[in-house]
């Protein structure tokens, strides 16, 4: 018995030293990165955390987090900047599985977009790079701050089961210096995506969903820009199902919420819920749902090759400026809609067409 007691006492007395060793091991499991060469070394290593400090990405190169080991946490802790070149980008790639990506205190991605901005966006003029390409699974992105994207900020493509939370996209300088096509979040071919609690200042869509399933955009604030859109047609996949847009605010945007399907396109939009949306001083249209969309603008009669089915509009409220339209619906082959809205102020009257039988929508 005495031998056993001595063993227990020895084990208990050693426990602080063991804990100290474990703490040292935990501390040693993080690596700091200050350049692209160190990032490549960190991806080959076994550290559980990669701390990205002040880092300059040379012109025409990408800050590439592809091939980071599953289970890694990536923390941005400094100022990330990029050299100037006319190219498509992206400037940053976030790609992998089971990753946690975080923004630390004081960090920023500064795209310095004014070097590219010329008022034409990605349509013409200078060739402008996308900011982030995201292809993640079972991962989270939280607390990032982005300023002055040259063009589209987040291209979210082929993602599955991810959350993006508490992101700040600040492209306000683009209002004065020719920013255009500075989309906040573009989502395509992705499933089980949540984007929440984020703020977007920009000069194009706050959110644009081109395809995917089970996508939720909630408690976000869109300021300036073109508001929130489900835009389907013209891609290799043209289906958007089970989309929830909830608890968002659109402030001084061109549009509130839009569903737009391509003229003569083929696909489906099914199960969209637009709930508890506040509009304030929207300029052109509060709710716009059209089936004759082209990039150059709506044209002709709506076509029904991409029907909008099982749509719910609930408690969409607020105001449109006098020269705008409160609500415009111009579709074909729509069915099974539910609608409750209170949008006022717009005095421009546009004809509505294709509203499902038995549903009353206060067009105009």
Enzyme catalytic residues:
204, 226
> Distances in Å between the alpha carbon of 124 and those of 86, 204, 296?
12, 15, 13
In angstroms and rounded to an integer, the radius of gyration of the C-alpha atoms of the chain is 24
At residue 137's C-alpha, the angle toward residues 135 and 140, to 5°, is 90
Q: Are 302 and 290 in contact (CB under 8 A)?
A: yes
Q: Which of 363, 295, 358, 356 shows the shortest CA–CA distance to 331? A: 356
* Cα 252 to Cα 312: distance, rounded to the nearest angstrom: 24
CB-based contacts of 302: which residues, under 8 Å, 6+ apart?
A: 263, 290, 291, 292, 330, 331, 332, 353, 354
What is the 8-class DSSP label of residue 352?
-
Local structure of 118: helix, strand or coil: coil
- Written as six digits, the tokens of 94 are 């976030």
> Distances in Å between the alpha carbon of 75 and those of 41, 100, 103, 144?
16, 8, 6, 10
Local structure of 259: helix, strand or coil: strand
Compute φ and ψ for 84, nearest 5 degrees: -90, 130
Q: How many residues does the chain have?
A: 364
* Cα 49 to Cα 32: distance, rounded to the nearest angstrom: 9
Q: Count of CB atoms within 10 A of residue 363's CB?
A: 17
Q: Which of 328, 335, 316 shows the shortest CA–CA distance to 362? A: 328
Q: Which of 287, 288, 339 shows the shortest CA–CA distance to 315? A: 339
Q: Are 95 and 55 in contact (CB under 8 A)?
A: no
């Amino acid at each position: 018995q005495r031998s056993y007691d001595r063993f227990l006492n020895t084990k208990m007395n050693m426990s602080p030293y063991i804990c100290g060793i474990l703490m040292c091991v935990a501390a040693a499991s993080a690596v700091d990165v200050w350049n692209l060469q160190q990032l490549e070394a960190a991806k080959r290593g076994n550290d559980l955390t990669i701390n990205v400090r002040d880092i300059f990405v040379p012109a025409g190169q990408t800050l590439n987090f592809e091939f980071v080991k599953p289970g890694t946490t990536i923390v941005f802790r400094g100022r990330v900047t990029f050299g100037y070149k006319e190219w498509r980008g992206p400037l940053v790639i976030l790609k992998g599985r089971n990753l946690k990506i975080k923004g630390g205190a004081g960090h920023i991605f500064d795209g310095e977009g004014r070097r590219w901005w010329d008022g034409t966006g990605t349509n013409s003029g200078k060739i402008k790079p996308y900011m982030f390409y995201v292809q993640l699974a079972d991962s989270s992105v939280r607390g990032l701050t982005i300023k002055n994207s040259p063009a589209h900020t987040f291209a979210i493509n082929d993602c599955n089961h991810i959350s993006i939370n508490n992101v700040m996209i600040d492209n306000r300088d683009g209002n004065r210096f020719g920013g255009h096509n500075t989309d906040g979040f573009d989502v395509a071919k992705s499933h089980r995506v949540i984007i929440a609690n984020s703020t977007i200042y920009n000069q194009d869509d706050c959110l644009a969903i081109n395809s995917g399933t089970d996508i939720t955009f909630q408690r976000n604030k869109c300021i300036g820009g073109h508001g929130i859109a489900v835009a389907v047609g013209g891609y290799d996949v043209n289906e958007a199902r089970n989309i929830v847009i909830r608890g968002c605010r659109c402030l001084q945007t061109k549009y509130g919420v839009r569903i737009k399907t391509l003229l003569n396109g083929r696909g489906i939009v099914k199960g969209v819920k637009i709930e508890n949306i506040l509009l304030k001083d929207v300029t052109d249209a509060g709710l716009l749902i059209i089936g004759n969309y082209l990039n150059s603008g709506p044209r002709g009669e709506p076509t029904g090759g991409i029907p909008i089915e099982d749509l719910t509009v609930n408690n969409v409220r607020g105001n449109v400026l006098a020269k705008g339209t409160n609500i415009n619906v111009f579709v074909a082959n729509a069915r099974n809609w539910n609608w409750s809205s209170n949008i006022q102020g717009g005095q421009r009257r546009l004809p509505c067409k294709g509203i499902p039988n038995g549903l009353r929508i206060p067009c105009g």
